[in-house]
Amino acid sequence: MPAPTLTGVDVGSTSIRAVEAIRTKDKPIISNFGQVILPEGAVVGGVVKDDKAVTAAIRQLWTGKNFKSNDVILGVTHQQVVVREVEVSNLPAKEMKRALPFQVRDVVPLPLDQALIDFYPLEESANKDSVRGLLIAAPKEAVINTVRAVERAGLFVSRVDLACFAALRSAARVSQDTEAVIDIGANGTNIIIHTDGVPQIVRTIPRGGAEVTRLLSQRLNMSFAEAETLKCRVGLIPGEGPETTEIISESIRPLINEIRSSLNYYTTANPGQPVSRLALVGGAALLPGFADELGQQLLMPVFLSDPLERVNDSRSGGRHDVLGRFRSSAAVSIGLMLGAA
């Protein structure tokens, strides 16, 4: 019997990425990777605005890269996704599913009939009558629309997972201390603070690399594509281009302040459990000099995580290896696949 195939699909705001792997007793073995660019405005803040464009992009990806499996694990994100620690009555699984909406209705900032709700237990409380865990809520319509757009391309979505949890699986350095995994995309950033792999808080920030590119484009009177190329070449490296570096530094400051605010919020609520380091993934995390600047600003170690450390790769690699070059951007799709391994 052939080994089961696992395929993670990440629908982002600028592109769709998919990773296909074979399940093994050890690490999953990657057999295929592909990505395709989305038209501007097709997906905004995790919401599919142009379902036909998303469906067409999925078809192009599957046809062009010859993916073998049509069963996929889909990653979703949305600015209204809620991940919050709560304590609920400790009930058997079936009763918990029925009772959960009534137990958490006061803490879900969405109408219950418009939300998908789940609960991830962290530990039982001392009296065993209640259980502490993470409440997960997402806008139902946004998730369903994304699933439909993908399935119209001929795929079957066997499971839906949050992009933030997928990034955690692929990027976290699991140990006994507390770490923040920061997934920085083009138009959004997810911050996941965890202790030994168990998520503590999740925050979504509507800022990313495209904000830097837009300011460069405006200030230097160049096209968005030209500004993107310049940004990726110069970044925050002193001496590469003083005017460009100054603009990039200015435009990245609000994101750094948001990250600092999130860390301060967590530290205030958990004074005995400080964040030890930051693990970065996502395409915008590759901005030259950004990791060093973030570490200097926040006074803590910052490193670029390598999602490929969690998998084996059966492909030839080399300079034409797209996944090797885009490993940081592929963190979510790798994490989705790892969640089913």
**pLDDT category of residue 126 using cuts at 50, 70 and 90:** low
Q: Looking at the structure, tell me whether residues 115 and 151 fall in a common domain.
A: no
Domain-embedded: residue 28: yes
Q: Looking at the structure, tell me whether residues 146 and 64 fall in a common domain.
A: yes
Q: Looking at the structure, tell me whether residues 257 and 210 fall in a common domain.
A: yes
Domain-embedded: residue 179: no
Domain-embedded: residue 159: yes
**pLDDT category of residue 251 using cuts at 50, 70 and 90:** very high
Longest CA span, the chain: 64
Q: Looking at the structure, tell me whether residues 11 and 70 fall in a common domain.
A: yes
State the CATH number of the domain containing residue 93.
3.30.1490.300
Answer yes or no: is pLDDT of 245 > 50: yes
Among residues 91, 116, 138, the one where a domain terminates is 138
Element (H, E) at 159: strand 156-162
Q: Looking at the structure, tell me whether residues 97 and 233 fall in a common domain.
A: no
Instruction: Name which of 125, 133, 131, 138 is nearest 164 in CA terms.
Output: 138
Tally of domains in the chain: 3
Q: Average the pLDDT over 304-317 and give the result.
A: 81
Domain-embedded: residue 192: no
Q: What pTM was computed for the model?
A: 0.89
Q: Average the pLDDT over 67-73 and give the result.
A: 93
The phi, psi pair for 316, rounded to 5°, reads: -70, -30
Question: Would you say 309 and 161 are in contact if contact means Cβ atoms under 8 Å apart?
Answer: no
Answer yes or no: is pLDDT of 319 > 80: no
Q: Looking at the structure, tell me whether residues 253 and 292 fall in a common domain.
A: yes
Q: Looking at the structure, tell me whether residues 61 and 21 fall in a common domain.
A: yes
Q: Looking at the structure, tell me whether residues 210 and 271 fall in a common domain.
A: yes
Which residue range is the domain that position 120 belongs to? 82-138
C-alpha span between 226 and 231 (Å, rounded): 9
Q: Looking at the structure, tell me whether residues 154 and 69 fall in a common domain.
A: yes
Element (H, E) at 340: helix 331-340
Q: Which amino acid is at 212?
A: V
State the CATH number of the domain containing residue 244.
3.30.420.40
Domain-embedded: residue 267: yes
Q: Looking at the structure, tell me whether residues 237 and 122 fall in a common domain.
A: no
Q: Looking at the structure, tell me whether residues 69 and 149 fall in a common domain.
A: yes
Answer yes or no: is pLDDT of 103 > 90: no
Domain-embedded: residue 190: no
- Per-state percent for the chain, helix, strand, coil, to nearest 5: 40, 30, 30
Domain-embedded: residue 194: no
**pLDDT category of residue 341 using cuts at 50, 70 and 90:** low
Among residues 113, 138, 163, the one where a domain terminates is 138
Answer yes or no: is pLDDT of 163 > 50: yes
Q: Average the pLDDT over 237-245 and give the result.
A: 80
Residue 61, Cβ neighbours under 10 Å: how many?
Answer: 19
Domain-embedded: residue 197: no
Q: Looking at the structure, tell me whether residues 269 and 284 fall in a common domain.
A: yes
